[in-house]
Amino acid sequence: MPTATDRRHAEAVRLRRAGFSFSAIARELGYGPYPSAARYAYLAGVRAEGQTITNTDRQFGVEIEFYNVRPSVVIQALAEVGIDCDYEGYNHHTRPHWKIVRDGSVTSRNTGEGSGLEMVSPILSGTAGLVQLEKVLATMVNVGAKVNLSCGLHVHIDQAGLNETQRKDYFLAYVVNQRLMDRLVAPSRRAFRNSYTQAYRDDDIPTYVQMIETGQQRGSRYHNINVTSYGKYGTFEIRHHQGTLNARKVINWIKLNMALHTWSRTVTEGTTPRAFASVEDMLTTIGVEDDVKTFWLRREAKLNPASVAA
């Protein structure tokens, strides 16, 4: 017979799959202001179900910064294609629906809100999640949403089912190859050219590795891969990519990062994932689909016309 703890773990799984953040789950289950407790309850519930979280069903979320259109216009257009979206002013809560929030770092032109805007997804997964994302992006373009250099694209990848060492391996797989990832994003998002997507310096890395291993969530979120989001959302946030409403770019970026995430768990635990020789070497080794590989090799050539991979 299930114990009270078992039932609480099962309820944590149900709430997470319904789109609740770990902070919200902690409040619902009486853990107080401790999202880490809710996260552990969720993982225990998943383990109790005997599930293995694979690359195809790993959850993700996106934040799409934009301007040039009022929230009400976007919300109405999404409603007409069957997608629920609300305007929520400003907050960091995970919702079971799409939401638009204000973003003071983005140009406010034509938004009517005195600031730029950010479209935030609910928790998504698999092909169905990508299809819904594509529909949202197409609708935003159709009603006149735009992006410029003030905008970014953030992708959250759920870390459920990974232990501290596996999370560290994923972080290091990204960081030791951050210069190659630079080649796949606009120059404005590279290295230390953008204060919101800073690269990790060599002397930064041990601090963040220790933070991941111990579960302490300190430090700056303004890096190309933000691991401080793990404490609140159970995710690592990829902030590297420039703002875009192009569904093909967004979906291929998600697939690339999902593949790197999966590959990082195949290396021997406790060893540093290797730095790849080139973008092509990286794409081949981590096993992206052929069309994804072709897309990124073409993007690399376009974004780096006068250079060769180091």
- What is the per-residue pLDDT across 157-179, written as a single tens digit (0 to 9) for each? 998 878 888 888 999 999 999 99
Determine, yes or no, domain membership for 251: yes
Tokens in use for 154?
A: 């953030």
**pLDDT band at residue 217, thresholds of 50, 70 and 90?**
low
Best CA proximity match to 238, nearest among 303, 122, 153: 153
User: Are 120 and 248 in the same domain?
Assistant: no
User: Are 241 and 188 in the same domain?
Assistant: yes
Q: Give the tens place of pLDDT for each residue, 29-59.
A: 888 877 767 877 887 777 666 555 555 578 9
- Count of domains for the chain: 3
User: Are 204 and 283 in the same domain?
Assistant: yes
**26-40, 54-68, 289-303 — most confident range:** 289-303
The Cβ-side half-sphere exposure at 107, using a 13 Å CA radius, reads: 14
Determine, yes or no, domain membership for 309: no
- Which of 106, 133, 151 is a domain's end point? 151
State the residue range of the domain holding 278. 155-303
User: Are 133 and 164 in the same domain?
Assistant: no
Give the pLDDT of residue 249. Answer: 98
Q: How confident is the model over 106-133, as a mean pLDDT?
A: 95
User: Are 174 and 234 in the same domain?
Assistant: yes
Q: Please provide the average confidence, as pLDDT, over all residues in the chain.
A: 89
Q: How confident is the model over 276-294, as a mean pLDDT?
A: 96
User: Are 175 and 297 in the same domain?
Assistant: yes
- Which of 151, 174, 198 is a domain's end point? 151
Determine, yes or no, domain membership for 270: yes
Contact 90, 101 (CB under 8 A): yes
Q: How confident is the model over 184-203, as a mean pLDDT?
A: 89
Q: How confident is the model over 107-133, as a mean pLDDT?
A: 95
Contact 81, 135 (CB under 8 A): yes
Determine, yes or no, domain membership for 310: no
Greatest alpha-carbon span in the chain = 66
User: Are 210 and 222 in the same domain?
Assistant: yes
User: Are 212 and 274 in the same domain?
Assistant: yes
Determine, yes or no, domain membership for 250: yes
